[in-house]
């Protein structure tokens, strides 16, 4: 198996109210790229959040006593802490400079996905309120524009509990199943597989980051030639249920 990954260059700076699907379509055409059936469009969370107005002006943040206390204790900007708390359903760990929380979406990550990068000075971006819904909306519009059958993944960059370095994960999925389930199949030696259920949406997100990068100004890529499992999947399906979590 082989597949291609190529970036869509020339995307404009996104602001609230922009039509992300139309801008992706226009930028692809300006790059001489025509969409094909079963293309996977991988979009960085930041442009989706900006278009949906999920941006906070730092100087407008009203501080609580709790946020000030955490900021002083952890040597973090209390305004960032306040915004993180607003996106948090549960604090998982506060240690040294790390604030690990569970977001309202159910994701466990540092700072609830709240981020200063790739946004105007003095502003903070939040995760989309419903990344799976955002992915469906963008994908549906792109399919209408292209008359092609597409999948779409929205990604964000997080650290990993047991390994150094950050990777991109899928936080929104549309037009595909997030897993390729091998359970019940036989391996190369004929043994039945009982637990192998590969999170292909996360693998695709990580592969796309190799082209997107963090400072290249390429927030959207197309992955072509990968035979993904089709279906009405969601990134929220990837979140491990609390009753199955050995660490919470």
Tens of pLDDT, residues 164-178: 999 999 999 999 999
User: In this predicted structure, what is the pLDDT of residue 196?
Assistant: 77
| CATH of 56-124 among 3.90.1660.10, 3.40.50.11240, 3.40.50.300, 3.40.50.2300 | 3.90.1660.10
More confident residue, 4 or 98: 4
Integer Cα distance of 136 and 153 in angstroms:
9
Q: Are 84 and 114 in contact (CB under 8 A)?
A: yes
Is 96's pLDDT higher than 90? Answer: no
* pTM of the shown model: 0.93
pLDDT, tens only, 216-248: 789 999 999 999 989 999 999 999 888 888 877
Q: Where are the domains of the chain?
A: 4-51+128-239, 56-124
- pLDDT at residue 55, as a whole number: 94
What tokens appear for 177 in the block? 């199943």
| 204, two tokens | 């695709």
Top CATH class of 4-51+128-239 equals alpha beta
pLDDT in tens, 19-34: 999 999 999 999 999 9
**Cα angle 136, 14, 44; round to 5:** 50
């Amino acid at each position: 198996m082989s597949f291609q990954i190529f970036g869509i260059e020339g995307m404009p700076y996104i602001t609230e109210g922009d039509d992300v699907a139309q801008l992706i379509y226009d930028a692809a055409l300006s790059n001489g790229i025509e969409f094909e059936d079963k293309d996977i469009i991988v979009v960085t969370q930041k442009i989706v959040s900006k278009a949906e107005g999920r941006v906070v002006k730092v100087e407008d943040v009203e501080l609580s006593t709790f946020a000030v206390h955490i900021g002083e204790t952890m040597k973090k900007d209390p305004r960032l802490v306040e915004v993180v708390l607003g996106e948090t359903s549960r604090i998982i760990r506060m240690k040294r400079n790390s604030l690990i929380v569970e977001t309202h979406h159910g994701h466990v990550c540092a700072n609830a996905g709240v981020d200063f990068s790739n946004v105007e000075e003095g502003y903070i971006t939040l995760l989309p309120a419903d990344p799976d819904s955002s992915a469906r909306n963008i994908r549906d519009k792109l399919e209408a524009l292209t008359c092609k059958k597409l999948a779409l993944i929205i990604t964000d960059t997080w650290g990993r509990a047991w390994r150094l370095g950050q990777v991109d994960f899928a936080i929104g999925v549309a037009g595909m199943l997030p897993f390729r389930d091998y359970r019940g199949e036989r391996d190369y030696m004929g043994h039945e597989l009982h637990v192998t259920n590969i999170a292909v949406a996360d693998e695709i997100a990580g592969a796309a980051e190799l082209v997107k990068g963090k400072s290249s100004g390429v927030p959207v890529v197309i992955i072509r030639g990968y035979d993904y499992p089709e279906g009405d999947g969601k990134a929220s399906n990837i979140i491990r249920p609390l009753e199955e979590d050995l660490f919470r």
